[in-house]
Amino acid sequence: MSTILYLTQIEFGPGVRSTLPRALTEIGVKRPLVVSDPGVAESGLLDQATEGAAPDAPRFLDVPPNPTEAAVTAALAIYRAEECDGLIAVGGGSPIDLAKGVALLAAHSGQLESYAAIYGGIVRIGAVAPVIAMPTTAGTGAEVGRAALLTLADGRKLGFISPNLIPKRAICDPELTLGLPRRLTAATGLDALSHCIETFLSPRINPPAESIALDGAGRIWRNIRNAAAHGQNLDTRTEMMMGALEGGLAFQKGLGAVHALSHALGGLPDLKLHHGTLNAILMPAVVRFNADHVGDKLDRLKKAIGLDQSDDLADELDRANVELGIPTGLGALGVTEQMFEWIVERALADHSTPTNPRQPTAEDYRALLTQAMY
Ligand SMILES: [Zn+2]
């Protein structure tokens, strides 16, 4: 077990969920709203995570796979009716992002849209209600991230970004990930890997973040196959959780075209596509697209994850996708070429596009989508 103070206070290690009651006291939350999703609740994980903490706390479990403005509004109504003073989010990125949305609107007036990063919302977000985040996947890094991705009523999936949105406490207990099925272990782990790779390749200058990203990429690459195949191995799960946490600690440096495209794709109203699966599929094509614009960084990345310098990183990512059972392309998920213009328009406007090492045009994004189809 360890306590890490970096961006926020992080309790990390098997069993640290027992620190939740103390965390509530320390950050002064007396009546939390517990936010989770039906799968986490039905599996018993929610009870396991919150055992001994605020037993009569109200719960909001209707978190969609890509959290929506409507769900934020519904949770906020319960938060207000129950006179809550903070939130506990238990689950993957969706409950944590939704809790951040509620925390924002609990302390701010006006429309959610006006706080979106692309509309200048970053400077308008002040102090928000306190959030404690307890991840049950090793993937999103949302437990230490300053962004929430929320889909507005018209389908735009927007980023809400502020240091004030970082949860006041992250409780990262790898025992909560032991039962994660193989498919989700792979997809969420590859999301975490994409955070480390994209933020390392981002052109912003931030060597401390890059060092964290390299360490995270190495932990994930060395453990993801084992975690998928032998989910009950606590040591492997602990390495994956640390790698995902490191991705979240690093990605404030900025992400890139993988995330710009996957944010857009995640907003497609009818498909409800999984963020990590999308990133896994998009990553090889984007790494190839960026390869000539990142100096020696691909070599440094290969060294950090234990590949030979003669290996091709994009090919290795393709190979990992096959080994881990990731769908073969966007086409297999139901994406069609008729959707490309809708996706490209949103990807170009996404907050992750400016920090891609090579500025993609609409034509570039169309080509990347085409490459990722099959
Ligand atoms: Zn991501």
Q: How far is the CA of 246 from the centre of ligand 1 (A)?
A: 13
Within 10 Å of residue 341's Cβ, how many Cβ atoms?
A: 12
Average confidence score pLDDT of the chain = 96
CA 30–ligand 1 middle distance (angstroms): 32
What are 90's two structure tokens?
């238990």
Same domain, 293 and 163: no
Q: Say if residue 262 is in the same domain as residue 163.
A: no
Tell how far the Cα of 140 is from the centroid of ligand 1, in angstroms.
Answer: 5
State the distance from the centre of ligand 1 to the C-alpha of 351, rounded, in angstroms.
Answer: 13
Of 131, 154, 176, which marks where a domain is finished?
A: 176
Cα 182–chain centre separation: 18
Same domain, yes or no, for 143 and 170? yes
Determine the distance from the C-alpha atom of residue 271 to the mean position of all C-alpha atoms in its chain, rounded to a whole number.
Answer: 19
Residue 233 has pLDDT above 90, yes or no: yes
Q: Give me the pLDDT at residue 342, please.
A: 95
In order of 177, 220, 314, the CA distances from 238 in angstroms are 9, 10, 26
Domain count, the chain: 2
User: For residues 311 and 232, what is the distance between their CA atoms, to the nearest angstrom?
Assistant: 31
Q: Determine the structural domain holding residue 21 and report its residue range.
A: 2-176
Mean per-residue pLDDT, 24-42: 97
Residues 68 and 201 reside in one and the same domain: no
CB 72 within 8 Å of CB 105: yes
297 lies in the same domain as 166: no
Distance from Cα 34 to the centre of ligand 1, integer Å: 23
Task: Select from 329, 341, 343 the least CA-distant residue to 372.
Answer: 329
Q: 216 and 92 in one domain?
A: no
- Rounded distance from Cα 171 to ligand 1 centre (Å): 19
pLDDT confidence tier of residue 170, bands split at 50, 70 and 90:
very high
What is the pLDDT averaged over residues 113-129?
Answer: 95
In this structure, what CATH number is given to the domain that contains residue 57?
A: 3.40.50.1970
Q: What is the pLDDT of residue 278?
A: 97
* 304 CB neighbour count, 10 Å cutoff: 20
Domain final residue, candidates 154, 176, 198:
176
Give the CATH number of the domain where residue 320 resides: 1.20.1090.10
Question: Average of pLDDT values for 161-190?
Answer: 97
* 194 CA distance to ligand 1 middle (Å): 7
- For the cut 80, the answer to whether the pLDDT of residue 5 exceeds it is no
Q: For 204, which DSSP code? A: S
- Flag the least confident range among 2-16, 28-42, 135-149, 161-175: 2-16
Whole-number Å distance, alpha carbon 54 to ligand 1 midpoint, is: 31
In this prediction, residues 27-36 reach a mean pLDDT of 98
Ligand 1 mean position, distance from CA 193 (Å) = 9
- Range 205-224 average pLDDT: 97
Look up tokens 């099925």; give the residue: 181
- For residue 138, what pLDDT band results from cuts at 50, 70 and 90? very high
Spatial contact of 182 and 231, defined as CB atoms under 8 Å apart:
yes
* Inter-residue contact 50 to 87 (CB < 8 Å): no
Helix (H, G, I), strand (E, B) or coil at 290: helix
Give the model's pLDDT for residue 2. 82
CA–centroid distance, residue 311 to ligand 1 (Å): 25
**Residue found by looking up tokens 């390392």 in the block:** 200
Spacing, Cα 83 to ligand 1 middle (Å): 32
pLDDT of 6: 79
Q: Say what the pLDDT of residue 272 is.
A: 84
Per-residue pLDDT averaged across 32-57, rounded? 95
> What is the per-residue pLDDT across 190-200, written as a single tens digit (0 to 9) for each?
999 999 999 99
Cα(32) to centroid of ligand 1, in Å?
Answer: 27
- Same domain flag for 103 and 202: no
Domain boundary at 176, 196, 214, which?
176
Nearest one of 77, 84, 81, 71 to 36, comparing CA atoms: 71
pTM of the shown model: 0.94
* Spacing, Cα 262 to ligand 1 middle (Å): 8
The CA R_g of the chain, rounded to the nearest whole Å, is 19
Ligand 1 centroid–CA 245 distance in Å is 12
pLDDT of 334: 96
Q: Are residues 61 and 135 in the same domain?
A: yes
Cα–ligand 1 centroid distance for 80 (angstroms)? 30
Residue 66: the pLDDT is 84
Helix (H) or strand (E) holding 314: helix 313-323
Type and span of the H or E element at 168: none
Same domain, 309 and 212: yes
pLDDT tens by residue, 62-115: 999 889 999 999 999 999 999 999 999 999 999 999 999 999 999 999 999 999
Q: Where residue 153 falls among pLDDT bands split at 50, 70, 90? A: confident
* 312 vs 320: CA distance, rounded Å: 12
Average pLDDT in the 312-329 region?
Answer: 97
Q: What is the pLDDT of residues 249-290, one digit of tens each?
A: 999 899 999 999 999 999 888 888 999 999 999 999 999 999
Ligand 1 centroid–CA 284 distance in Å is 15
pLDDT at 155: 80
257 & 145 share domain: no
CB 374 within 8 A of CB 331: yes
Q: Cα(257)–Cα(205) distance, rounded to whole angstroms?
A: 18
How far does the centroid of ligand 1 lie from the alpha carbon of residue 55, in Å? 32
pLDDT of residue 363: 98
Residues 244 and 320 grouped into a single domain: yes
Please tell me the predicted confidence (pLDDT) of residue 112.
95
* Residues 57, 200 within the same domain: no
Residue 252 Cα to ligand 1 midpoint, Å, equals: 12
Measured in Å, residue 26 CA sits from the centre of ligand 1 at 30
Tokens 């403005």: give the residue. 69
